[in-house]
Amino acid sequence: MLHLDLSPAQSFLAPGYHDQCKDKLAQAHQWLQTATGLGNDFVGWVHLPVEYDKEEFARIQAAAKKIQAQSKALVVIGIGGSYLGARAVIEVLKSPNYNALPKDTPDIYFAGNGLSSDALQEIVTMIGDRDFSVNIISKSGTTTEPAVAFRVFKDMLEKKYGKDGARERIYATTDAARGALKGLADKEGYEEFVVPDDVGGRFSVLTAVGLLPIAVAGIDIEALMAGAAAQRQECIDQPDASASAQYAAARHALFESGKSVEILAGFEPSFRFFGEWWKQLFGESEGKEGKGLFPASVDFTADLHSMGQYIQQGQRLMLETVVRFEKPLTEVAIPNDPDNVDGLNFLTGKTLSYVNEQAIRGTRLAHVDGGVPNIVITLPRRDEDSIGRLIYFFEYACGLSGHLLGVNPFDQPGVEAYKKNMFALLGKPGYEDQKAALEARLK
């Protein structure tokens, strides 16, 4: 079960705030359920946890097994919505140190999520002469970052295994019918998986986009979907009182009362990348028309020793959403020190998770005292069920929240601006006029 606690935010919320937006919530819920609101072409994710393509799901599981048997490493090439979900789930359910830990599944490297030649070369070096496969994920197939990286790894595969051997190791996740990658995959005979037309990148983690890499890491994708399906049911059963609806209403009220930044805080280092996924989800969905909470994320307790100062006493512009897991996967007991040099012998025999829990409790009180409303989301443990629920909880809350804000939560017109400039500066045919103007401005 996912549990939402709004009580540490209550003193910052006006009485009746939830009732005031009940009608809007009901309307937003209706729009999402029936695909009739703004951005209605992109709400395929709403029913995905139960209405997914079962035949493709079985192919994903089979392909994951084949990659596990054939390869010591998988290079996952994609950016933004075609990358963050898979990495978030693998890190939170396995570890940020997944590649370094003992395991019987392939190492997973994420490429094509930037333009750093050093980062790309490092992946080539880490693969070395080991057997590897590639999952290229791009709806369009023309996004510069993944397209350039794919050229490099495709070339490596073809040199190592020949064209026929490479074909057996390349998996293309792309549009069902259109696009450059679709054309190439058809021509070369790669195994293909689909980015559904009605699911935008940031909502695509529970499609083949996320599921294939996640399954290769040995994560039970059926249990992940089941967790998401359970959370979806709660959203359907309680249109204005589900955890997602309550969260959307509270953060909207806090935004209206002047908060402009929401920080997502975790107390597990493995949660860090989930924060990256969450930032894209809310940032791209709400940050438009001059509106939207700015989504940031922090990794506690580490960031309490850096950002903690600002959160406690800087500009009073934040609300904080904390995700905590009731039980760790392992327990570490604190040993006794006969000299007690650090004065911490009162903790002897206590577990680290007990100390972490007191840090969570103490931080919450301190931040609330410092004027930072807290919202606390509790999950039993870091497992597939919990993470499936958490993904859907945030996705649905994001859809509702975008509608409360009055924006289209499912488009992202702003991301084109840098691309146009970059293409012009790179000399892409058709951009000649812009190039001269941009170069003049950069002088």
Give the catalytic positions in this structure: 284, 305, 419
Contact track, ligand PA5, 22-61, x by CB under 6 A: ----------------------------------------
Contacting range for ligand PA5; rule: CB under 6 A; set: 21-29, 90-98, 138-146, 354-362: 138-146
Interaction residues for ligand PA5, span 201-230 (CB under 6 A)? 201-202
Please provide residue 252's backbone torsions phi and psi, each rounded to the nearest 5 degrees.
-65, -45
Q: Specify the residue, 71 or 82, whose C-beta has the smaller distance to ligand PA5.
A: 82
Find the largest Cα–Cα distance for the chain.
75
Q: Which residues pair with 321 in a beta bridge?
A: 264, 375
- Least Å distance between CB 166 and ligand PA5? 21
Binding status of residue 285 toward ligand PA5 by CB under 6 A: no
CA 440, CA 443: separation in Å to the nearest integer?
5
CA-nearest of 213, 185, 174 to 84 is: 213
Q: Specify the residue, 37 or 85, whose C-beta has the smaller distance to ligand PA5.
A: 85
- Least Å distance between CB 153 and ligand PA5? 15
Please provide residue 170's backbone torsions phi and psi, each rounded to the nearest 5 degrees.
-110, 125
Q: Specify the residue, 43 or 376, whose C-beta has the smaller distance to ligand PA5.
A: 43
Contacting range for ligand PA5; rule: CB under 6 A; set: 132-140, 150-158, 352-360, 383-391: 132-140
Contacting range for ligand PA5; rule: CB under 6 A; set: 78-86, 183-191, 264-272, 292-300: 78-86
Binding status of residue 79 toward ligand PA5 by CB under 6 A: yes
- Least Å distance between CB 419 and ligand PA5? 9
Q: Specify the residue, 140 or 301, whose C-beta has the smaller distance to ligand PA5.
A: 140
Binding status of residue 138 toward ligand PA5 by CB under 6 A: yes
Binding status of residue 80 toward ligand PA5 by CB under 6 A: yes
Binding status of residue 113 toward ligand PA5 by CB under 6 A: no
CA 297, CA 70: separation in Å to the nearest integer?
37
Q: Specify the residue, 81 or 106, whose C-beta has the smaller distance to ligand PA5.
A: 81
* 3-state class (DSSP) for residue 56: helix
- Angle, CA of 389, 231 and 92, to the nearest 5°: 5
First to last CA, the chain: 57
Q: Specify the residue, 175 or 299, whose C-beta has the smaller distance to ligand PA5.
A: 175
Task: List Cβ neighbours of 81 (8 Å cut-off, separation of 6 or more).
Answer: 200, 201, 202, 203, 204, 209, 280
- Least Å distance between CB 374 and ligand PA5? 29
CB atoms within 10 A of CB 130: 11
* 3-state class (DSSP) for residue 74: strand
Pick from 37, 106, 146, 210 the residue near ligand PA5 by CB under 6 A.
146
Q: DSSP string spanning 91-151? A: HHHT-TTTTTS--SS-EEEEESSS--HHHHHHHHHHHTTS-EEEEEE-SSS--HHHHHHHH
Q: Specify the residue, 242 or 408, whose C-beta has the smaller distance to ligand PA5.
A: 408
**Amino acid identity, position 178:** R
User: Binding-site residue total for ligand PA5 (CB under 6 A)?
Assistant: 14
* 3-state class (DSSP) for residue 158: helix
Contact 77, 153 (CB under 8 A): yes
- Least Å distance between CB 396 and ligand PA5? 17
Side-chain-side CA neighbours of residue 55 (13 Å): 2
CA 148, CA 141: separation in Å to the nearest integer?
10
Binding status of residue 143 toward ligand PA5 by CB under 6 A: yes
Binding status of residue 139 toward ligand PA5 by CB under 6 A: yes
Contacting range for ligand PA5; rule: CB under 6 A; set: 196-204, 224-232, 313-321, 399-407: 196-204
- Least Å distance between CB 244 and ligand PA5? 20
- Least Å distance between CB 204 and ligand PA5? 7
- Least Å distance between CB 95 and ligand PA5? 25
Contacting range for ligand PA5; rule: CB under 6 A; set: 62-70, 75-83, 263-271, 420-428: 75-83
Quick one: which H or E segment has residue 3? Answer: strand 3-5
Helices (H) and strands (E) counted in the chain, each on its own, are: 16, 10
- Contact positions vs ligand PA5 (CB under 6 A): 79-82, 138-140, 143, 146, 200-202, 284, 412
